[in-house]
């Protein structure tokens, strides 16, 4: 398996300044390469490729007027590949008829990661193997940076990335051949229904709590954003206010990730087979405002629902669940969500009137009553087991 390991860096103040300059120089390289492509196509109708720009790197580094020569050649190539991937995704969206989203120039707050594509080429993990207590990563142009390694690294380190989040720096290791750690079989199976009142409800009636981290921090966030709105653009006070808002959002994100990891781990430890709906969260949380010619209805209610869904973090939770299930040797099945919440788990009758309220299910045919999420989870489990039997046959 391929897995990523993320650790907090402990750079000195001098190393922090050099890391910030490294990030800034890679951002400028990205923007210059983007401008090169735009200008070449606009003035001469020529499409510039990654190979062309990679070949020009040696001349840029030899000039060294901008300080580009001190950084790893491979990391600069990775930045150019990042731009190339952005253009490939743009052309793919054009072919498929989606909103194109032409690649944009990166502002200072929009470029936060530098990648070294090969351990040993401009970077080295565990660069001080004889140090008795600390772990270090060596980065070309920066030096040996101390790492707060809170868990062992498994597999073979392939790529190393450094990311800035607020005032913190992190190192991310992408590792190949990470061994799986199968958990002992339990013989239990479950369907899960994702929701807002509870993050997930199992077919056995267990409810996993939804902590609503964004709602809990909404008051402090609103105050910080009001304070930010009063600051003059470009001022030092505005930069401090921006950092405060970013720190609050970062805390909410970390809380959400922590909760998703714990909930997914609880499910993986308990069940051998887990079935969930194949939800398109991006489609479910689209705005209902519509257009001037065709304005939407119930816009405020839909906006509140979208906020609650995103605060619950369904997409993050399902991604983490799939990774943990693969690592633990569990089977994860996805099913079509159509009518799972309207169908009676006892008689199979499907009708909109079966849901008199959000939490209540009362079948209009057989009078079966149950918690709406538990009823849906049972339907999800049955659909998943039927799908597995069909594939096995």
Q: What is the pLDDT of residues 195-206, one digit of tens each?
A: 999 999 999 999
144 near 129, Cβ under 8 Å? no
Tens of pLDDT, residues 259-313: 999 999 999 999 999 999 999 888 888 877 776 666 777 778 888 888 999 999 9
Give, for all 393 residues of the chain, the pLDDT tens digit: 899 999 999 999 999 999 999 999 999 999 999 999 999 999 999 999 999 999 999 988 888 766 899 999 999 999 999 999 999 999 999 999 988 999 999 998 899 999 999 999 999 999 888 888 889 999 999 999 999 999 999 999 999 999 999 889 999 999 999 998 899 999 999 999 999 999 999 999 999 999 999 999 999 999 999 999 999 998 999 999 999 999 999 999 999 999 999 999 999 999 999 999 999 888 888 877 776 666 777 778 888 888 999 999 999 999 999 999 999 999 999 999 999 999 999 999 999 999 988 889 999 999 999 999 999 999 999 999 999 999 887
- The domain spans of the chain are 3-176, 189-211+260-392
pTM as predicted: 0.87
| Residue 284 confidence (pLDDT) | 85
Distance CA 220, CA 223 (A): 5
Q: Residue 164 pairs with which residues in a beta bridge? A: 169
**So what's the pLDDT on residue 166?**
87
C-alpha to C-alpha distance for 372 and 341, rounded to whole angstroms: 7
| pLDDT confidence of residue 303 | 86
User: What DSSP string runs through 44-61?
Assistant: H-PPP-HHHHHHHHHHHH
Structure tokens at 320: 């983490």
Q: What is the pLDDT of residue 65?
A: 66
Q: Give pairs for 151-159: CB < 8 Å, separation 24+.
A: 151/5, 153/5, 153/125, 154/3, 154/5, 154/178, 154/179, 155/1, 155/2, 155/3, 155/179, 157/119, 157/125, 158/118, 158/119, 159/115, 159/116, 159/117, 159/118, 159/119
Alpha helix stretches (DSSP H) within 64-184: 73-96
Q: Which two tokens stand for residue 44?
A: 């001469």
Q: What are phi and psi of 298, to 5 degrees?
A: 50, 45
pLDDT value at position 42?
A: 94
- Measured at the alpha carbon of residue 144, what is the angle toward residues 140 and 148, in degrees to the nearest 5? 125
Residue-level pLDDT at 255 = 95
């Amino acid at each position: 398996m391929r897995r990523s390991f993320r650790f907090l860096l402990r750079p000195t103040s001098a190393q922090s300044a050099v890391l910030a300059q490294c990030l800034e120089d890679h951002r400028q390289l990205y923007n210059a390469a983007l401008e090169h492509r735009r200008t070449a196509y606009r003035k001469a109708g020529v499409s510039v490729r990654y190979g062309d720009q990679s070949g020009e790197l040696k001349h840029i580094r030899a000039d060294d007027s901008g300080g580009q020569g001190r950084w790893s050649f491979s990391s600069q190539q990775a930045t150019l590949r990042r731009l190339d991937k952005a253009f490939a995704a743009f052309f793919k969206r054009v072919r498929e008829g989606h909103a194109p989203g032409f690649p944009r120039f990166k502002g200072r707050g929009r470029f936060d990661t530098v990648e070294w594509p090969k351990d040993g080429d401009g970077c080295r993990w565990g660069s001080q193997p004889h140090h008795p207590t600390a772990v270090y990563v060596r980065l070309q142009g920066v030096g040996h940076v101390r790492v707060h390694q809170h868990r062992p690294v498994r597999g073979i380190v392939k790529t190393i990335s450094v990311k800035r989040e607020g005032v913190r720096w992190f190192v991310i290791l992408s590792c190949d051949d990470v061994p799986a750690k199968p958990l002992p079989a339990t013989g239990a199976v479950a369907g899960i229904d994702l929701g807002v009142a509870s993050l997930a409800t199992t077919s056995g009636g267990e409810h996993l709590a939804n902590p609503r981290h964004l709602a809990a921090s909404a008051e402090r966030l609103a105050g910080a954003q009001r304070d930010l709105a009063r600051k003059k653009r470009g001022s030092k006070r505005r930069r401090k206010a921006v950092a405060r808002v970013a720190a609050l959002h970062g805390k909410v994100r970390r809380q959400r990730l922590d909760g998703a990891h714990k909930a997914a781990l609880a499910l993986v430890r308990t069940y051998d087979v887990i079935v969930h709906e194949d939800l398109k969260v991006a489609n479910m949380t689209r705005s209902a405002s519509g257009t001037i010619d065709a304005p939407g209805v119930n816009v405020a209610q839909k906006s509140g629902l979208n906020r609650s869904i995103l605060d619950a973090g369904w997409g993050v939770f399902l991604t983490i669940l799939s990774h943990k299930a693969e690592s633990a040797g569990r089977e994860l099945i996805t099913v079509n969500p159509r009518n799972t919440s309207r169908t009676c788990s006892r008689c199979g009758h499907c009708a909109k009137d079966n849901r008199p309220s959000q939490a209540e299910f009362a079948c209009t045919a057989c009078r079966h009553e149950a918690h709406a999420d538990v009823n849906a989870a049972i339907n999800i489990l049955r659909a998943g087991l039927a799908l597995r039997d069909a594939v096995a046959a």
